[in-house]
């Protein structure tokens, strides 16, 4: 037990924040799931459940329209990714270090998304069709297509890292520039930046994930 505690204490603050966010999200999901089981389907939908239904339906509809008949395999991951990213991006509001200003965490998320996209291409197009796609529209485009695929996780990692890190840098600059007056301005600035920009970066990451996955899906499978 002591070894586990020592190992945890040696981890960067962003890793600790990630574990805390995942733990809280899992706990909320378990509690909500238990409450949903007790609801009678014929009764009126409880008001507290409406936001959860809206979020799930929005994700399901978006994934279904873009990916097609395999949407059930992707919607859970997309929803999980969206929830984690939003709370990770806005973690400073809760007084913890944002996990997404640690490039390794962003790289891990981008790599998982990248692998999902490539596996989707193989499953949907077959290995032959997937490899043939690197030769489109002409065989001479092979190097360009390879670089394009490899650059996707790199760009997703750096975009998310840069956006979240810039918020911390701007806060430090604002604090130094306004001195004592930053006490009045900084809370409002952080609220706008952490929530609004955090939501925007979450949407961008999720949109790129779904769109690039959709590009690897055979057109016949998108008819749902």
Classify residue 15 by burial, with Cβ atoms within 10 Å: 0-12, 13-18, 19+: middle
pTM of the predicted structure, to 2 decimals: 0.86
Neighbours of 28 (CB within 10 A): 12
Q: Which helix (H) or strand (E) holds 116?
A: helix 103-132
- How far is Cα 181 from Cα 185, in angstroms, rounded to an integer? 7
DSSP codes of every residue in 13-65:
HHHHHHHHHHHHHHHHHHHHHHHHHTS-TTSPPPGGGHHHHHHHHHHHHHHHH
Which of 31, 1, 204, 108 lies closest to 100, judged by CA? Answer: 108
Longest dimension (CA), the chain: 64
Q: List CB contacts of 70: < 8 A, sequence separation 6 or more.
A: 120, 123, 124, 217, 221
- How far is Cα 209 from Cα 62, in angstroms, rounded to an integer? 12
- From first to last of its 224 residues, what are the pLDDT tens digits of the chain? 666 666 566 677 888 899 999 999 999 999 998 988 888 877 788 888 888 989 999 999 999 999 988 899 999 999 999 999 999 988 878 878 889 888 999 999 999 999 999 999 999 988 998 988 888 888 888 889 899 899 999 999 998 888 777 666 666 666 666 565 556 666 666 677 778 888 888 999 999 999 999 999 988 887 66
């Amino acid at each position: 037990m002591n070894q586990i505690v020592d190992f945890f204490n040696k981890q960067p603050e962003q890793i600790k924040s990630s574990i805390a966010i995942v733990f809280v999200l899992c706990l909320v999901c378990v509690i909500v799931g238990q409450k949903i089981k007790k609801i009678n389907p014929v009764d009126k939908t409880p008001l507290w459940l409406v936001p959860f239904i809206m979020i799930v339906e929005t994700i399901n509809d978006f994934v279904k329209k873009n990916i097609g008949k395999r949407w059930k395999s992707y919607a859970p991951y997309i929803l999980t990714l969206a929830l984690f990213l939003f709370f990770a991006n806005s973690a400073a509001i809760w007084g913890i270090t944002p996990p997404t200003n640690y490039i390794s965490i962003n790289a891990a998320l981008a790599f998982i998304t990248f692998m999902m996209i490539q596996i989707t291409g193989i499953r949907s197009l077959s290995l032959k069709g997937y490899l043939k796609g690197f030769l489109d529209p002409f065989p001479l485009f092979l190097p360009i297509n390879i670089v394009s695929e490899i650059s996707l996780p790199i760009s997703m990692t750096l975009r998310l890292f840069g956006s979240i890190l810039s918020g911390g840098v701007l806060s430090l600059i604002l604090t130094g520039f306004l001195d004592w007056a930053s006490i009045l301005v900084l809370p409002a600035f952080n609220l706008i930046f952490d929530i609004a920009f955090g939501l925007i970066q979450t949407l961008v990451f999720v949109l790129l994930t779904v769109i690039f996955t959709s590009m690897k899906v055979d057109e016949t499978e998108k008819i749902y």
